[in-house]
A and B are shown apart, each in its own frame.
Chain A
Amino acid sequence: MSSPKEQGKHKGSKGEVSRRGFLEVTSAGGAAAATVALDRPAAAQTGAQAGARIAGPGPVAITLNVNGKMLKVNVEPRETLLDTLRGPLDHTGAKRVCDRGTCGACTVMMDGKSVYSCTVLAIDAQGSKIETVEGLTADLKNDALVKAFVEHDAQQCGYCTPGFMVAAKMLLKETPKPTYAEVKAGLSGNLCRCGTYVGLRGAVLEAAQGGRA
């Protein structure tokens, strides 16, 4: 499998990005508007006069802060954060299931809040701190929630599980000692088809009592 870097290169060489000018990113803290690429120079100038920069509709170079790393990638404005993470950036923990902001399998954190990455534009995620399930469980062996998920067998096919993991992380961040009702509420933005809810509810409750998630 190719690394994200290679993927980006490949896309650049095959696509049309290389023929378009774009602003280089200088720091992670830059405002989104300052980091988006400018499309056709004429369009960019018109946008500048009106005050709002215009990017696209063709591919633009963007930089995303994913799990603390600044990753450059070329996307069209219409490409979602989910597809960008899963494709060119090769972060495949978030899954594409309903692709309509219903099932929660694509859940990631943006600026510390869980969101459905299938209904976030990648270009719109610039300047935000994005944490995927891989980053949130970086210490896989010692992560209290991972341990609890395993102990309570909170996964079967496992395709929804990363989304539930991020939802559970979110819940415990805001409510470190949730009640059972709060656990159920915290998992109300996600769906599972195999039926792992009994394990999930138990796992989140136990991890909360462990207090290290």
Chain B
Amino acid sequence: MAEYNWPAMAERSWIGKRISRLDGPQKSGGRAKYGSDMNPAELLHGAILVSPYAHAKINSIDTSAAKASPGVTAVITIEGAGKEIQWEGTIIAAVAAETEVQARDAVRKIKVDWQVLPHLVQDDDLSKAGSRAKPAGEKIQGDPDAAKAAAAFRVSGEYGIPVLTHCCLEPHGQVIQWKGDEIVSWCSTQSVSNYAGDLGGQIEVPATAIKVHQDHIGGGFGSKFQSDQWGAFCAQLSKQSGGRPVKFFLDRNVELMIAGNRPSHYAKITLGADKEGKITLWESDSWSTGGFTGGNIPPIPYVFTKIANQRLSHNAVSTNNGPQRAWRAPNHPQASYLTCAAIDDLAAKMGKDPMEVFLANFDLTARGDAYTRQLKKAAKLIDWEANWKGRGKNRQGHIAHGLGIGVATWGGAGHDSRATARIHPDGTVELECGTQDLGTGTRTIMVQVAADTLGLPMDAIRLKIGQNAYPPSGASGGSTTAGGVSSSTRIATTDALNLLFEQLSSSLDNTPAANLEAKNGRIQVKGNPSKGMTWREACRKLASPIEALGHNNPRNPRGLNTGGAAGVQVAKVSVDTETGVVTLDKIVAVQDCGLILNPKTAESQVYGAMIMSVCGALYEERIVDELSGRMLNADMEFYKLAGAPDIGEMVVEMEIDPENDARGVIGLGEPPVISGIAAIGNAVANAIGVRVPMVPLTPRRVLDAMNGNGRIS
């Protein structure tokens, strides 16, 4: 059986190098084509009618005027008379027409008679939820009552983190054509290989009849795993329009209402500690919502899972809002915020530096050594010792400075992935895989691995991804892609190379395949580089192409990939105490991530994740109005994201060392997005001297907290 181990650190030609992403020029120059950029001949345009009410019943719907509207080729009613709608933005009907404006005109002509019903759309006040709040988890461990009585220090606080939306820049949707027995979808999906089966299931068409194309995707973040109802109704619109293709992507407002959100989490937390500062007690009453189905219990206490005595109770609140979807590291950023804020408040109560308290309690985590090492590194990088002062004690004029800590954990082992490597007699190499590049650099790392394995320059590899015609590879979610596709690529190219070696053996004095190596564009005898031939000469000896299928089986990743990433982030902020405006001065991430295939794109993942944390800590939240049931900021004007000037200095320390490297590849999408909000929230508490219970830390919440009105709201 072949050996697939990664080459030793010193012997890598492409793996582990700072390689610029291969599709960079195409993206920078606007040449990269996304599903939403496709303009096939005879294209029609879709538009939809959505519910303006959070909760309502459809008494009747009349689409006759829409059907007669100029340019219209098809109208589909999705929610008919008698249907009860549970959230604003629910799609009621869809239209296809020659032009987009014609489709929108037709939608305006659909008449719906509504019976408006009472709703609940806000979730920050549990007492207002009534019967919409349902117990969703209890846990008791150890003896919390005794621990409470015995604790030398006790601190209680309230913390809240609201619903966020994914706000993918390319909205959900597709260009789709159902002509005869074949469907082609140019979609925006995190799961190229599973899309056809999912869509086929919706419209009762065999997956084999559906072709999926996606060269690029404009953001997913966990919200684009399914073909979705728009995949289905647009396919129907196409069929009903004589098989002409239909382009439909959600408008921004509907995108923010229904195309996925991250659940809120709120908690009242009590921590107890002994007189040395060791945490002995965790008590929490938490609640959350991710829409009509409520929200799951967050993984709290986060990271510090070994706190001896715990009592948790959780309520899931059902609200009339669009449903949650996986959001980059589901539930972890919320759990990190709740946990790290409580520990930071405990440190303040004890009059101690939180750095000490975190370090003193890392033995309550699964990877205490890693966190200890990382937090010490981070402290150095932000000069914690020189910069930290007690809460509210670091003021210059009206500017208050502060430092804060957050911690993170994640799995990240590779998913089930298959890739085919094909070596042609003319020396060209094809690599095919039904994966997708979300912008993480998947293309680039696959080519790095293939080129490294085959001893070739990177431009010798012709990579094909983004179609379901290629070998199936898992959905890109949960930081599973890097491990999955790098391993399947490594296995496929290693096997293909061995097949080549076997065929060359006779030309090289019957040197056994095991004694041959591919290096610097040559096939040669190990230890005797002069005995060999160029790659092209070698391939010319092939009668027909060689092909090998590599499979990463998550149950046996053969040491190529694994899970278990740890990370810490520390933030430094300035708060204008007269305006409540928070400025992030600097944020430092220390992250382990096994074998880093490409430090450049890996760092980009961490930078991007930290910037997302800035958004979550300072700016973004879904705002819904209880009176009207409407989302008021379903736009990019008041659904606020950080801009280029808003993010301060960012420092990324990837732990690249033999020990981490030996663990194999670990995915990096989620780990760095977890702890930033906690770090920034704690830094603000340190600066202004009081806890702002709820993020994002808007001027309103900061000033309210400073004025003694720090409530969840």
Contacts and interface: CB of A to CB of B under 8 A. Distances in A.
Nearest to B605: A156
A36 to B, nearest CB: 17
B169 interface: yes
B643 interface: yes
A99 B170 CA distance: 11
A92 B169 CA distance: 15
Contacts of B41: 1-2, 6, 10
A34 interface: no
A11 B609 CA distance: 44
A35 interface: no
Nearest to A198: B607
Contact of A7 (B36, B39, B635): B39
B71 A194 contact: no
Residue of B25, B71, B249, B600 with most partner-chain A CB within 10 A: B25
Contacts of B33: 92
B168 A193 contact: yes
A201 B221 CA distance: 23
A197 B98 contact: no
A155 B21 contact: yes
Nearest to A203: B28
B94 interface: no
B458 to A, nearest CB: 14
A129 interface: no
B216 interface: yes
A62 B217 CA distance: 32
A157 interface: yes
Residue of A2, A100, A161 with most partner-chain B CB within 10 A: A161
A99 B254 CA distance: 12
A76 B99 CA distance: 10
A197 B39 CA distance: 30
Contact of A197 (B34, B249, B647): B647
Interface in A190-204: 190-201
Interface in B24-68: 24-34, 36-42
A16 B644 CA distance: 45
Interface residues of A, number: 68
B27 A15 contact: no
A138 to B, nearest CB: 9
Residue of B26, B39, B100, B251 with most partner-chain A CB within 10 A: B39
A11 B101 CA distance: 13
B252 A159 contact: no
Nearest to B611: A195
A100 B636 CA distance: 8
Interface in A71-95: 76, 78-79, 83, 86-87, 90, 92-95
Contacts of A11: 98-99
Interface in B600-624: 600-601, 603-604, 607-612
B611 A197 contact: yes
B608 A195 contact: yes
Given A95-B169, A98-B252, A201-B644, A155 B27 contact: yes
A62 to B, nearest CB: 15
Contacts of B636: 97-98, 100, 102-103, 191
A107 to B, nearest CB: 10
Given A153-B24, A157-B216, A197 B643 contact: yes
A146 interface: yes
Interface in A114-172: 132-134, 137, 140-141, 143, 145-146, 149-151, 153-162, 165
Interface string B656-679: 000000000000000000000000
B39 A165 contact: no
B47 to A, nearest CB: 13
A185 interface: yes
Residue of B70, B249, B610, B644 with most partner-chain A CB within 10 A: B644
A83 B440 CA distance: 28
B169 A150 contact: no
A198 B641 contact: no
Given A99-B251, A199-B607, A158 B218 contact: yes
Contacts of B169: 95, 97, 103, 105, 157, 159-160, 192-193
Interface string B5-33: 00000000000000011011111111111
Contacts of A141: 25
A76 B101 contact: yes
B637 A158 contact: no
B29 A157 contact: no
A161 B28 contact: yes
Contact of B29 (A14, A97, A133, A153): A133
B173 to A, nearest CB: 11
B645 interface: yes
Contacts of A161: 27-28, 30
A95 B218 contact: yes
A197 B218 contact: no
B439 interface: yes
Contacts of A99: 251-252
B25 A146 contact: yes
A53 interface: no
Contact of A146 (B29, B32, B98): B29
A-B pairs, top 9 by smallest CB distance, nearest first, are: A93-B30, A195-B611, A159-B218, A195-B608, A158-B27, A157-B439, A162-B30, A156-B439, A150-B24
Given A87-B100, A158-B26, A195-B612, 14 more contacts: A1-B39, A95-B169, A98-B636, A102-B637, A103-B169, A134-B30, A149-B24, A156-B439, A159-B170, A161-B30, A162-B27, A185-B645, A195-B609, A198-B604
Interface of B: 20-21, 23-34, 36-42, 70-71, 98-101, 167-171, 216-221, 249, 251-252, 438-440, 600-601, 603-604, 607-612, 635-637, 641-645, 647, 650
29 contacts: A1-B39, A2-B40, A15-B99, A16-B70, A93-B30, A95-B218, A97-B171, A100-B252, A100-B637, A102-B635, A102-B637, A103-B169, A137-B28, A151-B20, A155-B439, A156-B608, A157-B219, A159-B218, A165-B28, A165-B29, A183-B644, A187-B645, A193-B169, A195-B607, A196-B604, A197-B611, A197-B644, A198-B647, A200-B644
Interface of A: 1-2, 6-7, 10-11, 14-16, 76, 78-79, 83, 86-87, 90, 92-100, 102-103, 105, 132-134, 137, 140-141, 143, 145-146, 149-151, 153-162, 165, 183-185, 187-188, 190-201
